[in-house]
Amino acid sequence: MTADEESGRQKMTVLPDTSEDSAARRVERELRKAIITLEIQPGASLSEKELADRYGVSRQPVREALINLGKAGLVGILPRRGTFVAKISLDLMRQARFVRESIEVAVVRRACVSFAPEARQRIDGILDRQADLAAAQSHYAFQREDEAFHAALSEGAGYPTAWETLATIKAHMDRVCHLTLPQPDTLPKLVEEHRRIIDAIDCHDADRAEVALKVHLDGILKALPRVRDQFGFLFA
């Protein structure tokens, strides 16, 4: 190593996350989950002090988390009026669905050309667990496996960041999804739709995979009128 390289090495410092940065990310992650699963319902007011007590942190990381969730459209912050969970926006939900379809269509078409064997094997386990959870009507656990299925599609196709990119915007779809999951026929139907997508990939049939994916994503739009009639107070 030359003297210049040694000097550069000494000057370069990797700073660790501060506790507040880590706390803010944790609060944001937990609060996002509570909002998406409707544990904290649309329209509910959010107190920095109460959230700080709930998550065992100071108010600063809570404030940072709320700002980030506000940028994602999940939280509204109004000067002198307070902070609240944003109600479900049909416009944002439809935009999220459009973006998600655009990205996932590209993913499944790519998957029909080449798909990593380890991801394909993992999907078999995911589908088996989904079938068991559907039979048990375990909605929240099923939702986690649904996320795992779509993440595995992106990973298997060679583009894992495709699913990660959707994380923020698809939250506007996820809240509506959580309103549809308790219907008795919803979970078994979703499992079958997932199987049709992966069957088309196994057959290297990109057109059939695209159609199967679009049918899968159309379900939320078809359920929307019923959900809005039943839970209108949650919508903007």
Output the DSSP codes for the chain: --HHHHHHHHH---PPPPHHHHHHHHHHHHHHHHHHTTSS-TT-EE-HHHHHHHHTS-HHHHHHHHHHHHHTTSEEEETTTEEEEPPBPHHHHHHHHHHHHHHHHHHHHHHHH---HHHHHHHHHHHHHHHHHHHHT-HHHHHHHHHHHHHHHHHHHT-HHHHHHTTTTTHHHHHHHHHHTTSTTHHHHHHHHHHHHHHHHHTT-HHHHHHHHHHHHHHHHHHHHHHHHHSGGGB-
Could you tell me which residue, 234 or 79, shows the higher pLDDT? 234
How much is the average pLDDT of 215-222? Answer: 92
Give the per-residue pLDDT at 84: 96
What's the mean pLDDT when you consider all of the chain? Answer: 89
Rg (CA), the chain: 21
Give the per-residue pLDDT at 180: 87
Domain boundaries, the chain: 14-85, 90-234
Give the per-residue pLDDT at 3: 47
Could you tell me which residue, 184 or 5, shows the higher pLDDT? 184
CATH for 90-234 is 1.20.120.530
**% pLDDT > 90, the chain:** 75
CATH for 14-85 is 1.10.10.10
Res 143 pLDDT > 70: yes
Give the per-residue pLDDT at 185: 87
pTM of the model: 0.83
Give the per-residue pLDDT at 140: 86
Place of tokens 């050309």: 113
82-85/45-46 β-pairing: antiparallel
How much is the average pLDDT of 189-209? Answer: 98
Give the per-residue pLDDT at 7: 43
How much is the average pLDDT of 21-47? Answer: 92
Query: For the segment 96-139, what is each residue's pLDDT rounded down to a tens digit?
Result: 999 999 999 999 999 999 999 999 999 999 999 999 999 999 98
The pLDDT confidence band at residue 23, using thresholds 50, 70 and 90, is very high
